[in-house]
Amino acid sequence: MVTQTNSAQRIATLILKGFQHHYRLFQEITDKAGERFQNRDWQAVQAAARERISFYDVRVRETTATLQKHLLDEHLDEPLWAQVKIEYTDLLAFHPQAELAETFYNSVFCKCFHRRYFHNGFIFVETTIDDRIPVPVAAEYRSYFPVEEGIRSTLQRIIRDAGFSAQFADLELNIEQLVQAFSQQTAQQSLAAHQLRLDVLRSPFYRNKAAYVVGRIVTRKAHYAFIVPVLVNAEGRLYLDALITDNNQLSIIFSFARAYFMVQTHAPSALVRFLQSLMPHKTLAELYSAIGLHKQGKTEFYRELLHHLERSDDQLIAAPGIRGLVMMVFTLPSFPYVFKVIRDKFGSSKDFGRETVLKRYQLVKRHDRVGRMADTIEYSNVALPRARFSTDLLTELQNSIGSSMEIENDFVIIRHLYIERRMTPLNIFLEYASEAETEAVLDDYGQAIKDMLAANIFPGDMLLKNFGVTRSKRVVFYDYDEVQYLTEMNFRTIPKATSEQDMLADEPWYSVGPNDVFPEQIATFVFHDRRLREIFLRKHPELIEAGYWREQQQSIAAGEIADIFPYPSTIRFNKLCAD
């Protein structure tokens, strides 16, 4: 006779087996990142990044299907599943990916049962990892002691230990450049070899066309983070491109607006704790997402939200700025994020529906965001305390997203929700910007568009309200309902009018197809303020020329992938080894 404990053990073991199958496949595709990088197989780099994002959901569906076929009754057996959680927790006592396995368990359970059971009695709303012996952070890094062999030899060994199989074009030169950069950029130039230690993460971080060696300098008084980008030239030889020690630049490299890294890790919690020691302002959610564990990032974010709600008492309100025609956006002033829900009805100028919006947000999720498109966290059936909604917001939500929400006892249930990092809308930023800030941010606005074009993204609606300004004054796009691939668009020059009557007509005197775009209209459409328009045109005159947009299409069609560096060109080493 099968006891309840036996059944619980079988279920727990099956779910953990599903997780371990997922993580094995996740690591296999991640482990090949170095090979793709060193072979300069950039198309494969992008394909692998897209493919890996879907791995988690596929494994959850497989595990859920197995449970439903063999082990599950139609209704939740509460004593059984309380025991399942106990058995599963026991299996994770010394598991190196315990926090990820908890999240996988939650995903399987939530696919099987109603949301009324989504509490800590049955799922891991709160992690149990804090109650276990933590995986040592040192498991994820190597320590180097320059006192033993000197600074230069130590740096050389660090690069060799990173595991690159390709040869360097001139490693001796690169090491000399690295030593000089350390002296110029850090406060440690006066320290002797015996006064410091270097801790370096075992695996490079791969993304797009670069690898990044990440570590820290440790002294008696403090530690200092550093990142060394490694690139590969046309001959397949490697070279060190820069040294990044500035905290702001570190943050940009790990930004929410960039694609996820591929990095080998046996103990993600240890790796994330090391990263957080380098970037203490980054949350667990941001760091897990940055290393490609975006489902764990989603779990950590939800915990952060719940804890913040417990510690605060302000109310959710409509987000400042111009109301969107497709998304209803609201925010909690004390929490640096916005909540976005698809409206029931779109404005008359939007000739698409809900399914198109869903697909376009997925497009951005799976695409290289090149530092210019905000990552989104997508949730279903989110329960938020009704008392935290202002009366005005609740009324507006009922009128605008009524089919996507319901009020259940003391909670507002949002059926489908996107969450993004809150930024200052560019149009609002410009209202208060100084002359120098205006010049800089409009230059970056134009560069943001160019970066997206180079990544085969046509942003669609380029109004200033659809772009945000980050804490580091970087311009990021965040409104995806009109996003399409650049190669799908038809860029045209407006034909000359044949008569004065044509020019005065209410309708264009020329035909306009559904994907036709006339770049020469951008400046007048986006900038009603003549001063802002003139700055934009001075900085980026090519953006109003159809020929420029067609050239970008041709480059993409030819298989070219642009170099878009997440650090300033001013800190790059001389490009003796570059293409």
Say if CB 453 and CB 486 are below 8 A apart: yes
The reply, when asked if residue 324 is annotated as ligand binding, is: yes
Which is nearest to 448 in space by CA: 376, 370, 538? Answer: 370
Catalytic residue among 375, 444, 451, 461: 375
The reply, when asked if residue 322 is annotated as ligand binding, is: yes
The contacts found for 121-126 with CB under 8 angstroms, 24 or more apart, are 121/82, 121/85, 122/76, 122/78, 122/81, 122/82, 122/85, 123/85, 124/85, 125/303, 125/306, 126/303
The reply, when asked if residue 371 is annotated as ligand binding, is: no
Work out the number of other CB atoms within 10 angstroms of the CB of residue 193: 15
Q: CA 137 to CA 150: how far, in whole Å?
A: 26
Residue 468's DSSP bridge partners are 425, 476
Query: From residue 32, how far is each of 44, 49, 161, 236 by CA, in Å?
Result: 10, 11, 17, 17
The reply, when asked if residue 15 is annotated as ligand binding, is: no
Residue type, 317: I
Say if CB 462 and CB 481 are below 8 A apart: no
Q: DSSP for 409-478?
A: TTEEEEEEEEEEE--EEHHHHHHH--HHHHHHHHHHHHHHHHHHHHTTEE-S---GGGEEE-TTS-EEE-
Tokens 């700055």 -> residue = 535
Residue 327 DSSP label: E
Work out whether the CA dihedral 274, 567, 360, 441 comes out positive or negative.
positive
Question: CA geometry: angle at 252 spanning 448 and 273, to 5°?
Answer: 150
Percentages of the chain per state (helix, strand, coil), in multiples of 5: 50, 15, 35
Say if CB 161 and CB 564 are below 8 A apart: no
**3-class secondary structure for 277-318?**
HHCCCCCHHHHHHHCCCHHHHHHHHHHHHHHHHHHCCCCEEE
The reply, when asked if residue 320 is annotated as ligand binding, is: yes
Is 461 a residue of the active site? no
For 49, the token pair is 């990044």
The reply, when asked if residue 325 is annotated as ligand binding, is: yes
Tokens 């980026």 -> residue = 540
Q: CA 467 to CA 462: how far, in whole Å?
A: 8
Q: CA 231 to CA 38: how far, in whole Å?
A: 9
The reply, when asked if residue 323 is annotated as ligand binding, is: yes
Q: CA 105 to CA 182: how far, in whole Å?
A: 45
The reply, when asked if residue 340 is annotated as ligand binding, is: yes
Residue 494 DSSP label: P
Q: CA 327 to CA 367: how far, in whole Å?
A: 21
Q: CA 396 to CA 269: how far, in whole Å?
A: 41
Burial of 125 (0-12, 13-18, 19+ CB in 10 A): middle
Going by the annotation, the residues of the binding site for ATP are 319-325, 340
Q: Which residues are annotated as a binding site?
A: 319-325, 340
Active site residues: 375
